[in-house]
Amino acid sequence: MIESTKAIVLSSIKYGDTSLITTCYTENYGIKSYLLRGVLKSKKSNIKAAYFQPLMQLQLTANHNNKGTLNSLKEVSVSHFYNAIYTDIKKQTIALFLAEMVYNSIKEEEQNSDLFKYLETSFLWLDTHTNCSNFHLLFLLNLTKYLGFYPELNVVKAPYFDLLEGSFSINNKPNAVSGENLSQFKKLLGINFDVLDQVDFNAANRQAVLTILVQYYELHLGSFKKPKSLNVLKAVFS
């Protein structure tokens, strides 16, 4: 069936000598993967390999098959052109890392308009704002609202945060965060990107909170794999 939808590129891998397999999160159909035959060779096609960089926002017309199978693209255009994500080294590194995180976190082939809107607007914010050193941290925390495990805030003053339960506790448990790391983690709770410049993380704080968030994802998503780009991100923001 030929269908049109907005999409955000999460992964592109080379297939053979001339083709790509790309996975996108689409507005209307959730996760979809596409086989782009000959896209690395053809210069005349209106579908360009450059369209499929991490987090690129596209408008697709596609032939969608049964779930779990590769689909084919008929037409592709860029729906939002980024000005800085692919030229600023920090933003480029964040984009690569977050594309992997989203790819490893979302598997559903079903519509979730609220989640798509969050992704779309968040990445546009990243592109247009200069203070982005903490963007990936708040993005990952707030993404858990759409994945179903945002922290419970009813006893936020408790001395421990249980990563497995996603709640604050007066009891220390094997997967609990406490002390200085917990104090830093709490700075992100309940805020949006517009006040992100008020969060005063140093490099060590940033690394500690990132480690907490990645562990949080690992504990709550059974098929989650730690991103290969994690070490690159840590190096850029160290």
Question: Is the pLDDT reported for residue 217 higher than 70?
Answer: yes
CATH of domain 89-236: 1.20.1440.120
Where in the chain do CATH 1.20.1440.120 domains reside? Answer: 89-236
CATH for 2-80 (2.40.50.140, 2.60.40.10, 3.30.565.10, 3.40.449.10): 2.40.50.140
SS3 17: coil
Which tens digits make up the pLDDT trace of 119-168? 999 999 999 999 899 999 999 999 999 999 999 998 999 999 999 999 99
Token pair 């490099």: residue: 203
| Bridge partner list, 169 | 160
Question: Contact at 8 Å (CB) between 10 and 23?
Answer: yes
The pLDDT > 90 percentage for the chain reads: 89
Three-state SS string over the chain comes to CEEEEEEEEEEEEEECCCEEEEEEEECCCEEEEEEECCCCCCCCCCCCHHHHCCCCEEEEEEECCCCCCCEEEEEEEEEECCCCCCCCHHHHHHHHHHHHHHHHHCCCCCCCHHHHHHHHHHHHHHHHCCCCCCHHHHHHHHHHHHHCCCCECCCCCCCEEECCCCEEECCCCCCEEEHHHHHHHHCCCCCCHHHHHHCCCCHHHHHHHHHHHHHHHHHHCCCCCCCCCHHHHHHHCC
* Dihedral over Cα of 194, 197, 200, 205: its sign: positive
Angle at 97 between CA 213 and CA 88, to 5 degrees: 125
Question: What pLDDT shows up at residue 194?
Answer: 92
Least confident window among 30-34, 68-72, 142-146, 214-218: 68-72
> For the segment 196-213, what is each residue's pLDDT rounded down to a tens digit?
999 999 999 999 999 999
Predicted confidence (pLDDT) at residue 223 exceeds the cutoff of 90? no
For residue 85, is pLDDT > 90? Answer: yes
Are residues 184 and 209 in contact, defined by beta-carbon separation less than 8 angstroms? Answer: yes
Residue 126 near residue 91, CB atoms below 8 Å: yes
* pLDDT confidence of residue 7: 98
d(CA 158, CA 172): 10
Residue 81: per-residue pLDDT: 94
Q: What is the mean pLDDT of the chain?
A: 94
What is residue 3's predicted lDDT score, i.e. its pLDDT? 92
pLDDT digits (tens, 9 = 90+) for 27-67: 999 999 999 999 998 776 788 999 999 999 999 999 998 77
The reported pLDDT for the residue numbered 44 is: 64
CATH 2.40.50.140 domain span(s) along the chain: 2-80
